[in-house]
Amino acid sequence: MTNEPLLEVEDVYAGYVKDLDILQGVNFKIYPGELVAAIGPNGAGKSTLAKTIFGLLTPHRGKITFKGENIAGLKSDRIVQRGMCYVPQIANVFPSLSVEENLDMGAFIRNISLQPLKDKIFASFPVLAKRRHQRAGTLSGGERQMLAMGKALMLEPSLLLLDEPSAALSPILVNNVFEQIKQINQTGTAIVLVEQNARKALEMSDRGYVLEAGRDRFSGPGIELLNDPKVGELYLGVSALH
Q: Which of 34-38, 85-89, 112-116, 162-166 has the lowest mean pLDDT?
A: 112-116
Mean of the pLDDT values across residues 162-182?
88
pLDDT band of 241, cuts 50, 70, 90: very low
pLDDT band of 237, cuts 50, 70, 90: low
pLDDT band of 22, cuts 50, 70, 90: very high
Q: What is the pLDDT of residue 230?
A: 85
pLDDT band of 242, cuts 50, 70, 90: very low
Q: What is the pLDDT of residues 56-94, one digit of tens each?
A: 999 999 999 999 999 998 999 999 999 999 999 888 999
> Where do the domains of the chain lie?
7-241
Q: What is the pLDDT of residue 2?
A: 53
* Separation between Cα atoms, residue 221 and residue 125, nearest integer Å: 29
* Fold type of domain 7-241: Rossmann fold (3.40.50)
The answer to pTM > 0.85 is yes
Q: What is the pLDDT of residues 34-55, one digit of tens each?
A: 999 999 988 889 999 999 999 9
Q: 3-state DSSP helix/strand/coil percent for the chain, to nearest 5? A: 40, 25, 35
pLDDT higher at 44 or 242: 44
